[in-house]
Chains A and B, each alone.
Chain A
Amino acid sequence: MTADKTCAEIRRRLPHPPEKVFAAFASAELVTRWLTPSPEIRLTVLEFAFHEGGAYRFAYHVPGANTVIVGGSYSVIKPPTKIVFSWVIEPPDEHAGIQSEVTVSITPDGGGCELLIRHEKFERSDAIERHSAGWRGAVDQLTELLNEEE
């Protein structure tokens, strides 16, 4: 591993309009037909709520090995250019429990588009959340204080 590579990234020019490429991510029926690393590995969609905040769960049937289950939720859906979702593999798996995030960007390019998929390890935001929770608490108290003074 080269030390400066900290994510998986794939960029591909596709001779199809962005809407068509976006649609392939947006339906359980279509996803089943391509979202696997190879045709031998079959995908069963267990859950598929394609909207911001919606969850998905995919079962990958690897011939002669365990079924690998991946799940997550969609945080950004902007048709037809952007999709962001979390990606966590369930146990038992070497990489189970690792929080990661996939960003799909679809950029129009002539009659087709450029598809960019970035899959990166998710930096834990526990510390940031603690901070913002702290601020929320402080703002709540301030609001109460101001209300009392009225």
Chain B
Amino acid sequence: MNLAPALDLTFHALADGTRRSMIHTLAHGETRSAGELGRQFRSAQPTISRHLKVLEEAGIVERRVEGRVHQFRLRRKALEQAGRWITRHQAFWEGAVDQLDRLLAEGAER
């Protein structure tokens, strides 16, 4: 399975502070309307809509339309995939730097 295109979208979505705050707001599974999110972030509605669209396209939020109200909720899967990429590389470098430290210490004793 090729995750690359999906992860491109996820990391692009995460590259913005407002969008990360929106994810925090929805982190516990609450549903918020576009209007509520707009008031919370004190941004113009078109700006909020644009951010929500980026999050939706990355599969990070899902939209439910109830009449004229658009409700948003967090979907965990996209974030978990991005999290796995970060965890893997974090572990890689932690392990490598441990070994580097040991190698240099050996060299210092010689």
Contact = CB atoms under 8 A, between A and B. Distances in A.
Q: Chain A, interface size: which category?
A: 35 or more
B101 A14 contact: yes
Mostly helix, strand, loop or mixed at chain B's interface? helix
Given A20-B107, A98-B3, A37 B91 contact: yes
A102 to B, nearest CB: 8
A36 B15 CA distance: 28
Contacts of B107: 20
Contact of A124 (B1, B3, B8, B88): B8
A10 B103 contact: no
B103 to A, nearest CB: 5
B20 A3 contact: yes
A96 B2 contact: yes
A83 interface: no
A8 interface: yes
Question: Which of B2, B79, B92 has the most C-beta atoms of chain A within 10 angstroms of its own C-beta?
Answer: B92
Given A35-B96, A117-B97, A95 B79 contact: no
A8 B85 CA distance: 9
A149 interface: no
A61 B66 CA distance: 53
Interface residues of B, number: 40
Contact of B23 (A3, A10, A37): A3
A1 B79 contact: yes
Contact of B85 (A16, A91, A98): A98
Contacts of B11: 6, 121, 123
Interface in B1-19: 1-4, 7-8, 11-12, 14-15
A16 to B, nearest CB: 5
Question: Which of B11, B89, B101 has the most C-beta atoms of chain A within 10 angstroms of its own C-beta?
Answer: B89
A4 interface: yes
A33 interface: yes
Interface of A: 1, 3-10, 12, 14-16, 20-21, 24, 30, 33-39, 91, 94-98, 100, 115, 117, 119, 121, 123-124
Given A34-B99, A121-B85, 14 more contacts: A3-B23, A3-B27, A9-B90, A10-B93, A16-B104, A20-B107, A21-B104, A34-B100, A35-B96, A36-B99, A38-B95, A95-B3, A95-B88, A124-B12
Closest 7 A-B residue pairs measured CB to CB? A1-B83, A37-B95, A8-B89, A8-B90, A3-B23, A97-B4, A121-B11
